[in-house]
Amino acid sequence: MSFRNEPILELRRATEREALLAALRELDARLPLTVPVLIGGERGAAAGLQSTDPGAPERLVAEAGQAGAAEAAAAVETAQRGFADWGSRPAAQRAEALRGAAARLRERRLELAALQVRECAKPWPEADADVCEAIDFLEYYALEALELERGRDLIQVPGERNRMRYAPRGVVAVIAPWNFPLAIPCGMTAAALAAGNAAVLKPAEQAPASAGALVDALHEGGVPREAVSLLPGYGEAGAALVSDPHVHVIAFTGSGAVGLEIVRAAAETPEGQGHVKRVVSEMGGKNCVIVDADADLDEAVPGIVQSAFAYAGQKCSAAARVLVHEAVADTLVERLAGATEVLRVGQAEEFATEVPPVIEREAQERVLGYGEIAEREGRVAGRAAPVPESGWFCPPAIAVGLPERSAVNREEIFGPLLSVTSVRGIEEACDVVDALPFALTGGLFSRNPATVERVAERLPVGNLYVNRGITGAMVGRQPFGGNRRSGIGAKAGGPDYLLQFVEPRVVTENTMRQGIPVE
């Protein structure tokens, strides 16, 4: 069995577009969806948390349960029971269930893409790619689990037998963000389950329905109910999971502020907790694209615009800064500004939309606030207009001339604002990147192989993309994750990822006297 990425839909075909719009109409007729707290076989309340359409905030997408500390404790207790069964199953059986879940997502892919359009204002191409990535995670980790079960080869000497195998850790708390509403919770949950752990999923409060669909698919695929529970809710439910002494691994993806708090809280070893928690924390970035004097600007401009503004800049991998050689800076700024001004800002459901609204009011206020700082401390060279009035829209903009210490240059904005800085050369560009606390993705446009090598050597980023856009990592092709304050952990969608969810055990046997009676 081998892995191949799930093919994305060909949206240039009218039939594909019509099928998606039909799925959206069907979904609309069913709104609001109901997403209860799901603990083992028990369906809890589906009230307390509402998710709304960022493009039309009066549209209620889902009415979900609001789990708190009590539900978190109950889910962990259930997961302990679930672990006893699931963790003792052979990898082949677990892999089959994960593949069953992938098949279920594939059957529902149009509907699930439509759900992301509504719940997170994710435009169709990104929504479709998100569903494909979720399928990929399930199938990739299913194969990795089989590989892991084989253990590792060790050196053997006469009279001694050495074996190394991997055992699941126990209960995994999965705490997910909203910006890849299906793929990211799916990746972390699938990895936990593939390795033989039980999982409790706490999705982002902005996207409970996508997570509900994931957990349904896992159950329908054959993962026992006690092995995966769903806790829709706010940060409080996540914090309760983090401090629970019966949780063994915390798999978190989200902001740096929350991630670092989790790392600190998880270090506690209260009385009665016989283990140290393992934390996987994938956090934010401030991703820079370097453009050298010899770059092909016809390639760089669309690559940068797409990386900065697709999904309104709300990808952790999105381009936030451009560091351009002074020899081509004016030309690049002029071209980027021109390309930004004509971007189509609109509703996610419209196929022509290039920049959708941001996720919520708070995000809109944050992004517009950074825009004001950019105007005060530098200049806005280009901005798209008009933007729709209702919905959490922010015009994509290019800021220039900002001092290095500006918050716009140093903090993660997570919205459609791109800062362009002129540098004297590649070394200075690398110095700027090196001085940032983040190291998630990065980009380089250059025609010189020596420059490519030099930059690849110098940049600390987890994923560097050369002469292309810097988003869209594919499972198995671009294992993904950041360094420094952008993340601690092995790369998602890569061969090391499952190792975080297991503990290695080595058994050494003296075989010299086997079979010889000792007495």
Contact 214, 201 (CB under 8 A): yes
Instruction: Using CB under 6 A, count the residues that bind ligand NAD.
Output: 32
Q: Which of 226, 282, 349, 354 is catalytic?
A: 282
Place of tokens 């081998």: 2
**Residue 238 — left, alpha, or beta (φ > 0 → left; ψ -120 to 50 → alpha)?**
alpha
Query: Would you say 104 or 286 has its CB closer to ligand NAD?
Result: 286
355 binds ligand NAD (CB under 6 A): no
Rounded to a whole number of angstroms, the minimum distance from the CB of residue 252 to ligand NAD is 7
Query: Would you say 86 or 311 has its CB closer to ligand NAD?
Result: 311
Give the tokens for residue 374: 């950019």
User: Quick one: which of 204, 193, 212, 176 has its CA closest to 44?
Assistant: 212
Contact 313, 417 (CB under 8 A): yes
- DSSP codes, 137-194: HHHHHHHHHHHHHT-B-----TTEEEEEEEEE-SEEEEE--SSSTTHHHHHHHHHHHH
Rounded to a whole number of angstroms, the minimum distance from the CB of residue 412 to ligand NAD is 6
Among 79, 195, 217, 242, binds ligand NAD (CB under 6 A): 242
Distances in whole angstroms, Cα of residue 319 to Cα of each of 99, 133, 308, 395? 34, 21, 4, 16
Rounded to a whole number of angstroms, the minimum distance from the CB of residue 257 to ligand NAD is 7
Query: Would you say 129 or 426 has its CB closer to ligand NAD?
Result: 129
Give the DSSP H/E element, type plus range, for residue 129: helix 124-149
Q: Which stretch binds ligand NAD (CB under 6 A): 81-89, 92-100, 237-245, 296-304?
A: 237-245
412 binds ligand NAD (CB under 6 A): yes
Rounded to a whole number of angstroms, the minimum distance from the CB of residue 100 to ligand NAD is 26
Among 65, 181, 208, 284, binds ligand NAD (CB under 6 A): 284
Q: Which of 316, 349, 394, 412 is catalytic?
A: 316
Query: Would you say 311 or 414 has its CB closer to ligand NAD?
Result: 414
Place of tokens 């030309």: 331
Whether the ω angle into residue 32 lies within 30 degrees of 0, i.e. cis, is yes
Q: How far apart are the first and last CA of the chain?
A: 51
487 binds ligand NAD (CB under 6 A): yes
Query: In terms of residues, how long is the chain?
Result: 519
Quick check: is 282 catalytic?
yes
Tell me the pairing of strands 441-445 and 463-466.
Answer: parallel
Among 179, 306, 307, 347, binds ligand NAD (CB under 6 A): 179
119 binds ligand NAD (CB under 6 A): no
202 binds ligand NAD (CB under 6 A): yes
385 — phi, psi (to 5°)? -155, 155
Rounded to a whole number of angstroms, the minimum distance from the CB of residue 34 to ligand NAD is 20
Interacting residues with ligand NAD between 248 and 267 (CB under 6 A) = 253-255, 258, 261-262
Helices and strands, number each (H, E), in the chain: 15, 22
Quick check: is 326 catalytic?
no
Rounded to a whole number of angstroms, the minimum distance from the CB of residue 137 to ligand NAD is 13
460 binds ligand NAD (CB under 6 A): no
What DSSP state is assigned to residue 276?
P
239 binds ligand NAD (CB under 6 A): yes
Under the rule (CB under 6 A), what is the footprint of ligand NAD? 175-179, 184, 202, 204-205, 234-235, 238-239, 242, 253-255, 258, 261-262, 282-285, 316, 412, 414, 440, 481-482, 486-487
Catalytic residue annotation = 282, 316
